[in-house]
A and B are shown apart, each in its own frame.
Chain A
Amino acid sequence: MILGREVDFMGVRKIAAVISAALVVVSILALVFNSLQFGLDFTAGTSVRLNYSDTVILDEVNEALTNNGYEDAVVVSFGSDREIRVVLPVDESIEVVDQAAQAAVVGETIASLLSANSASEVTLLGSDYVSAKVGEELAEQGGMGMLVALGIIMVYIAVRFQFKFSVGAVVALAHDVIITLGIFSIFGIEFNLNTLAAMLAIIGYSLNDTIVVSDRIRENFRRMRKGSPVEMVNVSLNQTLSRTIITSFTTLLVLFSVLLIGGETTQGFAIALIIGVVIGTYSSIYIASNVILYMNVTREDLMIPVKEGADPEGTV
């Protein structure tokens, strides 16, 4: 993956900025108006699992439920083409212990309703009450975790690099998380605890990428005596390009094998991470460096204050 010529990444930095801004705006709009399709972890409800003797057509199930007054029911296929899970909101005023019994009643009702509306035989596999309280709390913890993590990262980068790099890295992280969530919202991919963990992993991955690029930018700023900031960023991006491509490639290799082999339960995780890795790779090239340039990074910003001297092996 050695490229014959330099790629002028920063030549299109304005266009990239516009595209990113547009994607972020679209994602935020999607999140506001379309919300996320929250999994059972985040919605209080009764989860009813049903088995069909033939392949289930989800639209028919939805129609049968809507026609019978269960407009809020969410139907998802579960495990195979013959198993579905119907999630219904529950009356939260009922005591939790009774809700377990209530769930059993709801399960029976739904099973007989769907049985009457389907050509195939419907068997009730089980029904459970699922509380949302935990999910909400976890989302809160996750949100808090992200904020605290972002704060610590900013401080660390400000100390190791410079404050402008902190801003660059955090803007890149926010960019990645918002767009990934936006894609979840637009394509109606279920958001559950596994995908929440994936979001956190995306932060880690994107940060990794951004730091590698920033590291090279810092090095070049310290070493190269000539050249504008834009040129230096461009050189740095080109120098790290082959590493960026190879690492993204191997990570995607892993994630795709998880997506294809890892089974139903890890699919959401894999999809979230694949989206995150693609966006994270893009953002480490265009977002973090772009922000640094917009903030007018200078050579003086990165000069080592203590007299450690220039790199003794300055062969470049």
Chain B
Amino acid sequence: MLNRYPAWKNILIVVVVVLGFLYSIPNIYPDDEAIQISTDSLSLNESDMATVTTALEAAQVEFFGEEVSEESILVRFNSVDDQLIAKTAIEEALTNDYIVALNLAPTTPAWLQAIGAGKMNLGLDLQGGVHFLMEVDMDAALGRRMEDNLSNVRSILREERLRTRGTNVVDNSHLEIRFGNEDDRSEARSALLENFPDLQFQNRDAGNVSVLDMRTPPDVILQIQRDTLQANRTTIMSRVDALGVAEPTVQQQGADRIVVELPGVQDPAQAIRFLQRIATLEFHLEATPGASPASYVTYVNPDGLLVDVDNEVILQGDRISNVRSSLDQNGLPQVQINLDAQGGNQINRVTRENVGRMMDILLSETRSRTILTTDENGEEVEDVEFFEEKRLISHATIRTALPRTFVITGLSSREANDLSELIRSGSLAAPMTIVEQSVIGPTMGRENLEAGINGILVASVLVLIFMLFYYRVFGLAANTALVMNILLIFAVMSTLIPATLTLPGIVGIVLTVGMAVDANVLIFTRIREELTNGMPPQQAIDAGYNRAFTTILDANLTTFLVALVLFTIGTGPVKGFAVTLMIGIITSMFTAIVGTRALVNLIYGGRNVQQLSIGKYKLPNKSGIEAT
């Protein structure tokens, strides 16, 4: 019984420790305040950087570490104050085509970044910001789909010249078509069948009416719901991106929910407005000459002319059902706009009554800017504010009453593309409502983080001291394993699993610290027991580790199963806690069993040992120690 580990095991442990160390160090490098400049369509170059440099020098802001690539420009600053002044200065210097966003730039050394080491994401509760939970109205999504199906059915039947006795949507997943006789029905059925492969067809006779039922089967409904959620998430993501909020989170939650977290944003009311609509068109008439100045606003049209636009909105952009940029018959760019039924009627009525007058189309965009406000403690804090910006994009004479589908011309092809993309990102696949919102202040987040870290530190130190006094040399091995364990948890959370560290997560780590020693306590008490029973030290070590192993495995495996269930079923804080618990169980099993054994083997293995430094233990008889 020599208690020696084979070389490969020692090497494995060293490799794990080195990796754990490497991948957890980025967390000690504080981020630099930075500004990131990007643009949708243009590629960035040195001349943009020159503009930025001039603006920053004019504003007398110190900056460093500029990075220019085609996609973005990054500039770093010494303080939050500098960063905010710089943002305003850069925004003024650049045109609206650029997105200027506050950001945090990692200061992790390049060689660490090169091996993929990064920092842990901090949750909103540790950083401050706004949290929204939005629910997608799936009934509306299905209903909209059915309405579409119905109008398609009608046009197909019209094309095929088939007569019906009426068609209607029964509910969100069911529409019926009534026919005068069975022949009409079977003819219609074969015509429709190929056009609606997703739907189930069924014949039904009600008196002398032959009915054809078309239903959406449950698996297709599920698919539609998944697609809708995905589409809405993409839309919300593009809205958030367009606003330039640094490191936003847009996540699906459950079957019909989306979580949006905006770090740094402090006003939920404004954030809601922008989440619900980012870019939309407003249709107005030109103000009649001599109208009261209060009834119109003056805009500059694309040709540089001043135009007075009447305040009344004749059509809101939410009536737009589809928008597409294309080329007209002369090869000139145009944007084709489709309205829904109500919007179609509205525009038709207004334009019919106003033939000859000018119609103006305004593009209303919601944007964000960072301002400095004073909080309750009199300290200056940064706050992201949203504001609406309207631009006149079309000023044209109404020649005739407009139908549901019409085109906007007189745009450059890029403008046409941008416009249709902007409007499209403004429309959701299904309406959403906000079911939960909360605001966490940046100071509160920082306090939470500091308090949490202090909690971990003090708890760890106390446990380390206790273990050292109680188990002596073995306690030292356990302590080394504990420190290694914390490093590994951090490394795994920073790199392997993109987990976000939240407050319950911190407490999860703290709890793991307390419980990680349990495995060692089990092993050490077992070794003491064997020593008390008169077993020689080397054998006692081996027996202690072997016997305790099944217990540790059983205990950790059951706890792991609980954590796994919580992770699968739970959301939010429950999930955050479950993740750290699972990671902690795995890493602590490794460090507490394999890690401490390696150290113990290193200290005691391969030589003749009379006595173990594992704290007090009773010997079977007084001369027991010498007896070996």
Residues of A within 8 A of B (CB): 2, 51, 79, 96-97, 100-101, 104, 123, 125-126, 128-131, 133-134, 138, 141-142, 144-145, 148-149, 152-153, 156-157, 160, 193-194, 196-197, 200-201, 203-205, 207-208, 211-212, 215-216, 219, 239-240, 242-243, 246-247, 249-255, 257-258, 261-263, 265-266, 269-270, 273, 313, 315-316
Contact = CB atoms under 8 A, between A and B. Distances in A.
Contacts of A97: 272, 433-434
B555 A212 contact: yes
The 8 nearest A-B residue pairs measured at CB = A263-B451, A254-B514, A262-B455, A251-B514, A254-B459, A145-B569, A149-B565, A215-B551
B268 A257 contact: no
Given A142-B570, A212-B522, A246-B470, A2 B617 contact: yes
Contact of A207 (B452, B459, B559, B576): B559
B570 A141 contact: yes
Chain A contact residues: helix, strand, loop or mixed = helix
Chain B contact residues: helix, strand, loop or mixed = helix
Nearest to B569: A145
B574 A142 contact: yes
Contacts of B566: 145, 149, 200
B504 A128 contact: no
B423 interface: no
A197 B581 CA distance: 11
Given A149-B565, A246-B525, A257-B455, A131 B577 contact: no
18 contacts: A123-B376, A128-B439, A130-B436, A141-B569, A145-B565, A145-B570, A149-B562, A153-B561, A197-B574, A200-B578, A207-B555, A208-B555, A215-B550, A215-B555, A250-B521, A254-B511, A262-B454, A269-B507
A129 B521 contact: no
Given A204-B581, A262-B451, A262-B455, A141 B433 contact: no
Contacts of A123: 376
Nearest to B511: A201
Given A138-B571, A153-B561, A207-B558, A96 B455 contact: no
Nearest to A47: B438
Contacts of B144: none
Given A97-B433, A138-B570, A152-B562, 13 more contacts: A79-B444, A100-B268, A131-B437, A145-B565, A145-B569, A152-B561, A156-B557, A197-B507, A197-B576, A208-B558, A215-B555, A258-B455, A265-B451
A251 B510 CA distance: 9
Contact of A133 (B268, B269, B435): B435
B463 interface: yes
Contacts of A212: 522, 551, 555
B28 interface: no
B513 interface: yes
B437 A100 contact: yes
A243 to B, nearest CB: 5
Interface in B182-204: none
A148 B569 contact: yes
Interface string B421-457: 0000000000001111111000010011011101100
Nearest to A1: B470
A279 B542 CA distance: 33
A194 B562 contact: no
B402 interface: no
Given A96-B434, A141-B570, A263-B452, A250 B577 contact: no
B561 A149 contact: yes
B294 interface: no
B282 to A, nearest CB: 20
Contacts of A128: 268, 437-439
Contact of B558 (A134, A156, A252): A156
Given A153-B561, A215-B550, A254-B462, A247 B518 contact: yes
A153 B572 contact: no
A195 to B, nearest CB: 10
A249 B467 CA distance: 11
Contacts of A200: 562, 566, 570, 574, 577-578
Given A196-B573, A258-B455, A258-B507, A211 B558 contact: yes
Interface in B504-540: 504, 506-508, 510-511, 513-515, 517-518, 521-522, 525, 528-530, 533, 535
B573 A211 contact: no
B563 interface: yes
A116 to B, nearest CB: 21
Nearest to B451: A263
A207 B563 CA distance: 12
Contact of B533 (A148, A242, A316): A316
Contacts of B272: 97, 100
Which of A203, A219, A266 has the most C-beta atoms of chain B within 10 angstroms of its own C-beta? A266
B364 to A, nearest CB: 18
Contacts of B376: 51, 123, 125
Contacts of B268: 100, 128
B383 interface: no
Nearest to B471: A246
B522 A263 contact: no
Contact of A208 (B470, B559, B574): B559
A253 B574 contact: no
Given A97-B434, A263-B448, A254 B525 contact: no
Contact of A134 (B436, B459, B513, B550): B436
B458 A141 contact: no
B543 interface: yes
Contact of A138 (B508, B546, B574): B574
A132 to B, nearest CB: 9
Nearest to B269: A100
B387 interface: no
Contacts of B125: 265
Contacts of A215: 550-551, 554-555
Interface string B232-274: 0000000000000000000000000000000000001100100
Contacts of A203: 562
Contacts of B528: 2
B622 interface: no
Contacts of A131: 133, 435-437
A123 B375 CA distance: 12
Contacts of A246: 470, 521, 525
Which of A79, A129, A265 has the most C-beta atoms of chain B within 10 angstroms of its own C-beta? A265
Contact of B462 (A193, A243, A257): A257
Nearest to B523: A243
Contacts of A100: 268-269, 272, 434, 437
B102 interface: no
Interface in B88-107: none
Given A253-B462, A265-B125, A126 B434 contact: no
Nearest to A160: B554
Contacts of A258: 455, 459, 507, 510
